[in-house]
Structure 1
Amino acid sequence: MAFEPPQRLVRALGETYGDEAVGDWLEQLPKTVQEAVDRRELDVERVMAPGGRSSLVVLVRRPDGTAAALKVAPPSASPALERAALEHWDGWGAVRLLGSTDGALLLERLHPEVSLRSLPEAKALLEAAGTVRRLWTEPPADHGFETVAERTERQAEAMRAFADPGAASLVATALAARDELTAVSPELVLLHGNFRQGKVLAADRTPWLAVGPEPLVGERAYDLARLVRDRVEDLIAAASGAAAARRRVNKLADSLEVDRERLRGWTLFRAVESGTRAIAAGRRGEGELALEFAGWL
């Protein structure tokens, strides 16, 4: 199957894992996709473009004519962990896994052009809360998922190395919050790991389903922290943005029975981590928005 990987995917993988680490995978990607298509006798409709930042998605049809989506991700993106989480959820709140082989996941077809971001903010947050609640289940026995403490320690190492004097105080505050939060974890449930409005798509068998998990285990407040920062551009542009952000923390915490202060702390840490990472990757505008948002908390 001949095609050029979407440039959005090429850039994002290079920023995250390094050009050398993913270069060979990208070069072999057309062959990998063709082998997965042939193995399952799929008919290819089209490659999703601009597509995602961590994987290639191809819209296909199965031999019986059923619409599906083939997702192919590099080993560095841990597709085996995504597969394990999707198998555990078995379609409950998340896209259903139809099969998998060598890093290629065959998924039920959703409506990729329609996410919760298409809804008014209040409705989107309500639907997001209902969706993520379904995902918070007891993890499977002998699971291989990392913990919130393990993932955020790696992120904290990069933050400590971030050399921008203007952000030093905010980084220190975020790191202190992370240390306090990981000292004691109130629960250990399976989390989506990257949950936000854009990760919830319209579906046929139920209105909305989550996609693209980066699964780990830990407390629910961590999973909500990225959702709090959704539509940050609108918040920054509004005169009451700071107050609206704090209200959003309280509203989500109360509606999902999560401690307000723990959610505020994780939201702060994740916003600063995202901001410093974006600036380090050359996306200064995006990074400064995240840091300004974090400063409100």
Structure 2
Amino acid sequence: MRLPDKFVRTMKSIHKENANEWLRNFDKMVADYEERWELKVQDPFDLSYNFVAPAIRNNGEEVVLKVVLSRKEFLTELETIKRMKGKGMVKLLEYDTEIGVMILERLSPGVMLAEIESDEEAARIASQIMKSLWIAAPVGTNIQTVTDREYSLKRIIQNNPDGFEQISKETLQEALLIFEQLNSEISNPYLLHGDLHHYNILKDGDSWVAIDPKGLIGDREYDVIQYLLNKLPETNVKDTIEKRIDIFVKELNLDKKRLLLRGFSHAVLSTCWTIEDGNYNEAFLSTIDVFNELLSKENISH
């Protein structure tokens, strides 16, 4: 099986020598998986940070094989899937924590929410998935929290006290103050998906199902932001985001002020991450201004 060059470069960039060893042993690992779980691995889906491929078991059952090289990310995703079992989350069939492999159900037809033409309809579907997924945060877990996101931004500011590329010092400081304030106000945290957007919600029969949770502990408003930042049109970005926000606020009974503040602060952090990764995303940068405009429209100072 030939792995896409972009995926290989991404793996080497993130995981360094671990990725080199993993890539060298890749064919043998796949053969071991096939023998152990009695399946045949097919050509992979479009790959980003993990190896994910359809597979067919010897009994004809169609499944998905997922291999996560980062042990921390694997354990977090595994725990999140287990805790959200039966709540609009893809089903976990088998797994091995030592080698970071999951066997998941194959969703059919597997159409992504991104393919829904009506943006408002898609947002309503996403809101129902969010409503079904969110549960009270577990005690005694290693899942990341929104405070970890705050620390991530703090680290970026410490390393770039005069601003970070296209983001001014003042904008960075504003975003950090918002993170600190909102995080301090959380009294009843939730277990969130952590990366819920149009490409992580798939059609399964007559239902829609979430995949690829990152797992995050925090307030519900934070989990909406990643959706707001994805699949944006080339024009009328502000109107699109505003309509999505109004749908989420109504359907999920969210705090609009808090959601807008989360949107601004996370847009800053997301843009910083793209700069750090060498994949600078100008669309994320533009959403910083969009959230500023929406905050001004609501007469919310920050």
SS in structure 1 of the partner of residue 25 of structure 2 = helix
Query: TM-score, with normalisation over the residues of structure 1?
Result: 0.87
Cα deviation 1:177-202 (Å, max 9, x = unaligned): 11111122142111101111111011
Partner of 2:228: 228
Aligned AA (2:77): E
Amino acid of the structure 2 residue aligned with 1:215: G
- Equivalences for residues 247-286 of structure 1 within 5 A: 247-284=243-280
Aligned to 2:298: none
Which of residues 63, 77, 80 in structure 2 aligns to 1:82? 77
SS in 2 for 1:47: coil
Deviation of the 1:277 alpha carbon: 1.9
Q: Secondary structure at the match of 1:296?
A: helix
- Conserved in 2, the CA contact under 8 Å of 1:148 and 1:218? yes
Corresponding residue of 1:106: 103
* Unaligned stretches of 5+ residues in structure 2: 292-302
Match of residue 16 from structure 2: 19
Q: Give the match's secondary structure for 1:253.
A: helix
Rate the CA distance shift 1:131–1:34 in 2: closer, same or farther, 3 A: same
Aligned mates of 2:157, 2:23 — CA distance in 1: 29
1:93 corresponds to which of 70, 88, 91: 88
Give distance in 2, aligned partners of 1:33 and 1:257.
45
Cα displacement string for residues 142-187 of structure 1 (whole angstroms, at most 9, x for unaligned residues): 3332222124312441355355354113322222211111122142
Q: CA RMSD in A?
A: 2.2
Q: Which residue is 1:31 aligned to?
A: 28
Structural mapping, 1:117-156, within 5 Å: 117-120=114-117, 121-156=119-154
- Deviations 1:29-77 (CA, angstroms, capped at 9, x unpaired): 3322222221111122x122432x2211121122321110000010255
Q: Are the aligned partners of 2:50 and 2:69 in contact in 1 as well (CA < 8 Å)?
A: yes
Contact 2:90 2:210 in 1 (8 A): yes
Among all aligned residue pairs of Structure 1 and Structure 2, give the percentage whose two residues are the same amino acid.
Answer: 24
Number of equivalent positions = 285
TM-score computed with the length of structure 2 as normaliser? 0.86
Match of 2:287 in 1: 293
Tell me the amino acid that sits aligned with residue 167 of structure 1.
Answer: I
Report deviation, 1:94: 0.8
Per-residue CA deviations over 1:117-150 (Å, capped at 9, x if unaligned) read 0002111111111111111012445333222212
1:259: Cα distance to partner?
0.8
Please identify, of 134-143 and 64-73, the stretch whose mean Cα deviation from structure 2 is larger: 134-143
Aligned to 2:198: 197
